[in-house]
Structure 1
Amino acid sequence: MKFFVTLITSCLLTITCFAQANLTGKVLNRDDSKPLTNATIVLLNQDSILQYFVRANEDGNFEFKGIKPADYLLIVSYPKFEVYSQPIELDKNLNLKPILLSSRAHLIEEVVVKAKIPIRLKGDTIEYDAASFETEKNAKLEDLLRRLPGLTVSASGDITAHGKTVSKVLIDGEEFFGYDPKIAIRNIRADAVDKVQVYERKSEESELTGIDDGQRFQTVNVVLKEEARVGLFGNIEGHLGTEELYTANLFAAKFNRTERIGLTANTNNMGANAGGREGSLRMNSQITGEPRNTSVGANYENQFFQKKLNVNANYNFNDASNRNERERYNKEIISSEEVQETNSLSQNSNNNQGHSFRSIFRFRPNTKSNMDVHFNARKSQSSSWSASENYMINNSVDSIRDYRSENNSTGDSQSSEISINYRRRLKEGQALNLLLSNKFDESNQQSDVFQRTYLHKEDKETIVDQNRLSDSRNYNFNSQIHFSNRINQNLNYSLGYNLGFRHDKNKVDAFNKLANNDELDLQYSQNQINKSSNNTLLANLNFNAEKVSVSLSNRTNYRSQKLTDSYRDIDLSRNFWDNNLNLSGNYKISNRKNLSLNYQQNFDIPSFNQLQPLQPQTSAIFIQEGNPDLKRAVNNGFNINYNTISLMKGTSWNINSSINIKSNPIVNKRTVTDSVTISTYVNVSGKSSWNANLNTNYSLPLFQQIVQFNISSGVNYNNGFSYTRYQEPGSPIQGQYELNNTQNASLFTGISFNEQNSSGLDYDFSWRVTVNNQRNSLQRNLNSTNLITGGSSYLRYFFPKKFNVSANIHYNLEGPTKLYKESIQQFYANVELSKKLLKNESLVVSIKAFDIFNTYNTTNRSVSETEYSESTQLMLTRYILFGLKWDFNKNLGKKKNE
């Protein structure tokens, strides 16, 4: 026995010895090569945490003994000398070259080297030091975000952080122009930013109530420099182009410590994409239809009463209109033997004007209580006109139906919402929360509707010519109280009760013009009133330790609901229980590695619109019916996420997987005839629809961190059901419903790499390959697998004399399928030449050419459960813009001596 103990101990000691290494070196004065006695030498791990510490001896020598082989950051410091840092890859004994430190007295003050770690992990927050990522002069926050490892910004301004879509951008923890976060990233100056923080935020309801609903939203918080909190900045930009195009933008903001005032204005005839940032070459530059847009916005934020009251309010006016034309070919599976094809032409025009106001008042009277008041309001007017005609054939042979329609509508709507959330801390570890909210909205619309249907086989024509008056009013009140208590340092719980009321009224009066009287056409009319009340019990249990956190929450709801429709003799009422369970856990493997899991169960409760058998028609060729025998569907969702980040190497890896299973799903059930489609709902008993996905993203710097490389891949799978049957014209016998099982799977992988150093050549290149597999059980001959691949690149070259040339190049190939025998290729290129003027480079003149080879393909394809469609629309892709932009900045981001 002693022999085995001695043998095992010897083996462990041997392994330990082989798993250790020594690091030695010497610290000298650069000026006279004399040793710097007692210099401090530390080794940090990849999480920037101190691992080892020694001091240099009288000869300047130092030695670390028995170090675990790994990657470290070596930092050397000595009073009144520069700070020295060096990454170390230690896998065996290593003797460093002499480390030479320069006296700060002999260094120019402006170039004193300070040890800065560009990326830090603070709990669950990833923090970037903005000064460590160089941007060109007058660059915006959008340009800075593109250079941060793990973050990407699309041409339209959408942000992705470590594989997850960013839903909110905050400036110093507050929303800036809250209705559009893109305004912040496209106008805040990069040189005004101190730090950028990325973290996951709970839903707004969870933060207000303290009840964890399992939802998490990726958030970016931008911390401004202290000197950037006072100043005036903004930009003015204008463009004129071929095809009588124009766009003009204004953004101005004034910061004064706690007070922030912002103003935006835009007018253009290039669509919504032009209203953002025309100063950069846009990839999504196609102009759809004939748009016209004008918008004005203002934002105000300030603190009052010794910072006890914070006010954040913004107003926006928008006037938008468009005219468009579209051609569409549609193929729809209606049975195992029947396929309907439809060719259609449509025209439409619309105009919308709206005023919106949003505000948040945060009151903190003392350390024990606080109150948030939200008030939002909107008022809008709209008008629209549309005309369409389509021609339907069966199995590519028989003519079925011609249909033509025209609709002319005007309407207005308004809404208001106020919510009050009050929190009060009681004794140690206890808190009380009270939430009240009230929302009201109404809309009115008048429509002239003309529909003509001609059936070829029956030689029959049907005409609907009506004037429809619509009135909708919705009122919703909600109240909630909950109590939270801390049991011990790691465990806490909260209990809550919710009481809510809702009252909806929807009225449609349809008058037939041909009847020449005030008699309602009840087939197209409704007078519906929906009343409901909710009583909800909420419970939440949280466990938080240094490494592990677990949250269990449950929401049990009892609903009483009543629906009446005096036009259709409908009087329905029901009472039912509903439950929502959420369990989430998080394991912090280390400061740079994290694993999280989530499970959620809830129910799809049939709505009254799905239950009521009689519903008003909107079209002569489509009838929607309900099913009073519908049962609820059960949803079970699982999610797992793992991510790791290396601060020293600048690498990050994220993997996310989820599966959602729906038992007893509610699906569409259609009866298709030559004259009309009748749709209802039904449960698919004994079957489950589900979807699953697995996605991963890996990022690392290359070539001494000059080039940022990303690779991503994933697989997605969807499984769903629907019922359909085809009714032969004139046949008294109805066929059997057929269950169609659709299965769609896709596998993708993509790479991207970029270099952004604002000198020489900057580039950003991405490429993606996707394989799609589409299956349906009714028409197996249409099952197919096709390939979609494509990429885009952004190139920018900095010439002398402040000339810049930029280019966006896009290519995409969508392979053929069983239905579409030809592939679709998409290629276009946009080019810009610009020059910076003035001493501070604040004025930029440019010329931009879009789709220079006139190769843009306007054809678009889409696939749903039973439909395949291909369409084209009115679109301008080739044009030239001449532009002038002026960036102005007074004090913001500048030091006092600048």
Structure 2
Amino acid sequence: MKKFATTLFMVGWVLLSVSSVWAQSTVTVSGWIADENNEPLMAATVVLLQPSDSVMVSFGISNEAGGFTMAKVPTGDYILQMAFMGFQDISQAVTIPEGDEQVELGLFTMQEKTAQLDEVTVTADHIPLLIRGDTVDYNARAFDTETNAVVEDLLRKLPGVEVDADGTIRAQGETVQQVLVDGKEFFGNDATVATRNLPADALERVQVYDKGSEASEFTGVDDGTRIKTIDLRLREDKKNGVFGKVGGGYGTQNVYAGNATVNRFGGGTQFSLIGASNNRNLPAFSMGDYIGFQGGLGALGGGAGGFSMEMSGMNPRNQSGITTSHAGGINFNHEFSESFDLRSSYFFNAAGNLLEWNTLRQSLLTDNAFSTEEGTYRTTGQNNHRGNVRKIWERPERSSLTFSTNVQFGGNRGYSENTSQTLSGEGILQNSQERTNSSEGQNHSVDSRATYRQLFAKPGRMLTFQGNGRWNARGSDLLVYANSRFAIDPTGQAFDTELLDQRQDEDQDEMGYEVSATYTEPLGRGRYLETAYRRGSSLETYRKDFFDRQDGTETLNTELSNGFTKRYITDRVGVSLRINRDDYGITTGVDFLNSQLSAELASDVPLNRSFMNFLPRLSGEYEFTTTKSLNFEYETTLIEPTLQQLQPVINNANPLVTVTGNPDLVPEYRHSVQLGYHSFSQLNFRSLFSMVSATYTRNKITSTQTIDEQFRQVIMPENTGDAWTAV
């Protein structure tokens, strides 16, 4: 016992000694930074480097009083570097001695540069970041990454920047909406293409800032628009030359992943080729390749005819099942002159998914209850081509013309097997079904728009013309086979059987345009009056034919087959007032909207309606500091019923859950209000974002559900009156 106590004492003494030594080996380093007039410098960057290899050990940012602190710094010899915009850098050797928990380095005086440079110049190569206004400028070389790391890996290491698994980037607590490469778009507005394909070692700097709208950047008048943006600035040796990367891997059970990127930059040209392939449930690149190509696949879902799980296996944010993806793309940007810029890209994506799932759903009625058990096996595939071209002609301080075209086309296919049964609250079988669906679909779209802006001699005065034309076409061919049984007595012992064997052809086309003219007049003292007129028109045609199949022959079902047309025309006149001050901005306005809805439905009864509404709006932002702001927004919108919501056509892809439209629907009139507070600390890179929002909707369109005695469901949209929501 005595020997055990002695051993225990020795172990405890050793651990205590080690802890004491460890505690003494790291200290808190502090100091102050001021200018030549002894005024404190806030947001100066301080860094400690190993003298042998210049590896960064610690860094800090000075506060309002010019003080800085670096915690848990190991004792030893270092190189101390300091940087602040507009001042000469400081670089000197320092020693952090042992024996003290805190070490004060004293006051450092920075000398102002004799001339300001337009570009950021940092002579201390390992300063990790600089802060100038609302821009955080990271030095990419100061953050270590692996040899084959991509930009996304680098972003994860930057203080104040977060990257989700799906590639969504948040900086300073806000979602990044745009990623640029040397100030230019890279593969359109798809941020993840740049972050997941450009090598990290190609970057010199990463700049995070709030970008204004194109109109505000052209006129210099703040319109309140803020776009959180990351600009990836290339190293000088990468701006002219060829660079890229190749990676891949192969594992057990034939699992693989591979990607390649080649970039050639120089002479005002950016040219990139990318490619990727994997069967590891990873999206080839981004969400943009999956959106808009669902035609025909909606019927492959579960009990609600695909409405609850539509395309879930194809969604890179919801990696259910086993997904194989292949993708490739080309990006080409070129500056022909200071006044003419061309930006273009083409992208291809193909993906396949295999998914099996089982569900158990409990439903409560007024005087009864029932449960539904369901099992589904599904395979889906899709391919998608999309390209865009953007041309910009600009005469600085005079006029600009922007023309852009986006083209998408692709197809999809799918097959599903589904079994389900519904039990009453007493556990008695009420219905059951075995169903198989197979589909093929295609989708094509073209969207072109042009914007012309003309400035006048008076600063802030501007005339803007905009035009937009679009065309969308979607079609699908669906084969449905369903064997359904329905109980005809309360005990669930006798059943009726219904057999559905159909081919359903569906085609939908939509054409539309929108033109607008906006005039902005400066009123002085930061006030701007804007008047605008906008006219829009859309024409939608829809056709769905049902063919009953029996003994290898098909017969047109005239009762279900239908076609109809819908036209929606809007005329909108508005006026708004913008007030800009140093620390706040307010925009208030009202629009008068006259809308006309006409439709030719399957019932051969024409539908003609017109609506007149006033749509007020109010928004504002208040900046307590450059890193703390309060935002408020109130707006009203009119939401028209969709083509499918109006047409009383039955969707019987799932005989147990049929869906139909409602020609008596009227548009929703929605009031929305939102209040948000955002704070970001440049000292410790902590962010706080809070928001409250509420909506009030008149004539709310809601899908109502009717259940018959055999627990078959019919879903139909209806205007259910007023509705409130708050978050």
The TM tier, using the shorter chain, reads 0.7 to 0.9
Which runs of structure 2 are paired with 1:132-171 in the superposition (5 Å)? Answer: 132-137=142-147, 139-171=149-181
Report the equivalent of 1:714.
Answer: none
- Match for residue 327 of structure 1 among 358, 361, 378: 358
One-letter amino acid of the counterpart of residue 170, structure 1 = L
Give, in whole Å, the separation in 2 of the partners of 1:231 and 1:454. Answer: 69
Give, in whole Å, the separation in 2 of the partners of 1:211 and 1:509. Answer: 54
One-letter amino acid of the counterpart of residue 168, structure 1 = Q
Give, in whole Å, the separation in 2 of the partners of 1:206 and 1:627. Answer: 43
Distance 1:667 1:351, change over 3 A: closer
Which runs of structure 2 are paired with 1:34-113 in the superposition (5 Å)? Answer: 40=36, 42-46=38-42, 70-72=65-67, 82=90
Give, in whole Å, the separation in 1 of the partners of 2:394 and 2:33. Answer: 55
Contact 1:261 1:300 in 2 (8 A): yes
Distance 1:347 1:217, change over 3 A: farther
Q: Which runs of 5+ in 1 are unaligned?
A: 1-23, 28-38, 50-67, 87-93, 102-110, 277-283, 693-898
Contact 1:637 1:658 in 2 (8 A): no
Give, in whole Å, the separation in 1 of the partners of 2:429 and 2:265. Answer: 67
- Match for residue 367 of structure 2 among 334, 337, 348: 337
Shift of 1:259: 0.6
Contact 2:40 2:65 in 1 (8 A): no
Report the equivalent of 2:296.
Answer: none
Shift of 1:248: 2.1
* Cα RMSD after superposing both structures: 3.9
Report the equivalent of 2:297.
Answer: none
Shift of 1:42: 4.0
One-letter amino acid of the counterpart of residue 502, structure 1 = S
Contact 1:291 1:323 in 2 (8 A): yes
Give, in whole Å, the separation in 1 of the partners of 2:132 and 2:229. Answer: 15
One-letter amino acid of the counterpart of residue 550, structure 1 = I
- Match for residue 452 of structure 1 among 480, 483, 486: 483
Contact 2:148 2:245 in 1 (8 A): no
Report the equivalent of 2:689.
Answer: 655
Shift of 1:568: 3.1
Contact 1:209 1:482 in 2 (8 A): no
Which runs of structure 2 are paired with 1:601-616 in the superposition (5 Å)? Answer: 601-607=636-642, 609-613=644-648, 615=650
Distance 1:569 1:152, change over 3 A: same
Which runs of structure 2 are paired with 1:510-549 in the superposition (5 Å)? Answer: 510-514=546-550, 520-549=556-585
One-letter amino acid of the counterpart of residue 462, structure 2 = A
Give, in whole Å, the separation in 2 of the partners of 1:165 and 1:69. Answer: 27
Which runs of structure 2 are paired with 1:852-871 in the superposition (5 Å)? Answer: none
Residues 558-583 of structure 1 show CA distances to partners (whole Å, capped at 9, x for unaligned) of: 11111113x43242111112444332
Residues 461-500 of structure 1 show CA distances to partners (whole Å, capped at 9, x for unaligned) of: 1122112222221111111111112111411122111111
Return 573-582 or 255-264, whichever deviates more.
573-582
Give, in whole Å, the separation in 1 of the partners of 2:450 and 2:141. Answer: 40
Give, in whole Å, the separation in 1 of the partners of 2:217 and 2:83. Answer: 44
SS of alignment partner, residue 513 of structure 1: strand
Give, in whole Å, the separation in 2 of the partners of 1:578 and 1:621. Answer: 40
Return 435-444 or 593-602, whichever deviates more.
593-602
One-letter amino acid of the counterpart of residue 535, structure 2 = L
Residues 674-694 of structure 1 show CA distances to partners (whole Å, capped at 9, x for unaligned) of: 252122344444x633121xx
Contact 1:411 1:445 in 2 (8 A): yes
Contact 1:640 1:658 in 2 (8 A): yes
Contact 1:192 1:228 in 2 (8 A): yes
Give, in whole Å, the separation in 2 of the partners of 1:477 and 1:247. Answer: 43
Residues 421-459 of structure 1 show CA distances to partners (whole Å, capped at 9, x for unaligned) of: 111112323211111111112133222221221102352
- Match for residue 393 of structure 2 among 348, 363, 369: 363
Distance 1:189 1:25, change over 3 A: closer
TM-score (norm 2): 0.75
Give, in whole Å, the separation in 1 of the partners of 2:659 and 2:188. Answer: 38
Q: Which runs of 5+ in 2 are unaligned?
A: 1-30, 46-62, 70-81, 95-102, 111-121, 287-315, 490-494
- Match for residue 621 of structure 1 among 656, 667, 680: 656
Distance 1:660 1:69, change over 3 A: closer
Report the equivalent of 2:435.
Answer: 405
Distance 1:273 1:99, change over 3 A: closer
1:189 aligns with 2:223: no
Distance 1:483 1:400, change over 3 A: same
1:120 aligns with 2:145: no
Shift of 1:206: 9.4
- Match for residue 724 of structure 2 among 689, 693, 696: 689
Contact 2:279 2:322 in 1 (8 A): yes
Contact 1:209 1:433 in 2 (8 A): no
One-letter amino acid of the counterpart of residue 36, structure 2 = T
Which runs of structure 2 are paired with 1:169-248 in the superposition (5 Å)? Answer: 169-178=179-188, 180-201=190-211, 217-248=227-258
One-letter amino acid of the counterpart of residue 42, structure 2 = Q
Give, in whole Å, the separation in 1 of the partners of 2:88 and 2:564. Answer: 81
Report the equivalent of 1:670.
Answer: 705
Contact 1:394 1:400 in 2 (8 A): yes
Shift of 1:139: 3.8
Distance 1:95 1:199, change over 3 A: closer
Q: How many residues align?
A: 611
1:302 aligns with 2:334: yes
SS of alignment partner, residue 144 of structure 1: helix
Report the equivalent of 2:531.
Answer: 495
One-letter amino acid of the counterpart of residue 394, structure 2 = R
One-letter amino acid of the counterpart of residue 153, structure 1 = V
SS of alignment partner, residue 669 of structure 1: strand
Give, in whole Å, the separation in 2 of the partners of 1:82 and 1:608. Answer: 67
TM-score (norm 1): 0.61
SS of alignment partner, residue 430 of structure 2: strand
SS of alignment partner, residue 44 of structure 1: coil
One-letter amino acid of the counterpart of residue 666, structure 1 = I
Residues 231-283 of structure 1 show CA distances to partners (whole Å, capped at 9, x for unaligned) of: 3221111211111122221111111141111111122333334668xxxxxxx
Contact 1:213 1:582 in 2 (8 A): no
Report the equivalent of 1:474.
Answer: 510
Give, in whole Å, the separation in 1 of the partners of 2:386 and 2:105. Answer: 64
Return 387-396 or 628-637, whichever deviates more.
628-637
- Match for residue 500 of structure 2 among 464, 472, 494: 464
Distance 1:318 1:593, change over 3 A: closer
Report the equivalent of 2:270.
Answer: 260
Give, in whole Å, the separation in 2 of the partners of 1:268 and 1:128. Answer: 32
Contact 2:283 2:325 in 1 (8 A): no
Contact 2:584 2:622 in 1 (8 A): yes
SS of alignment partner, residue 146 of structure 1: helix
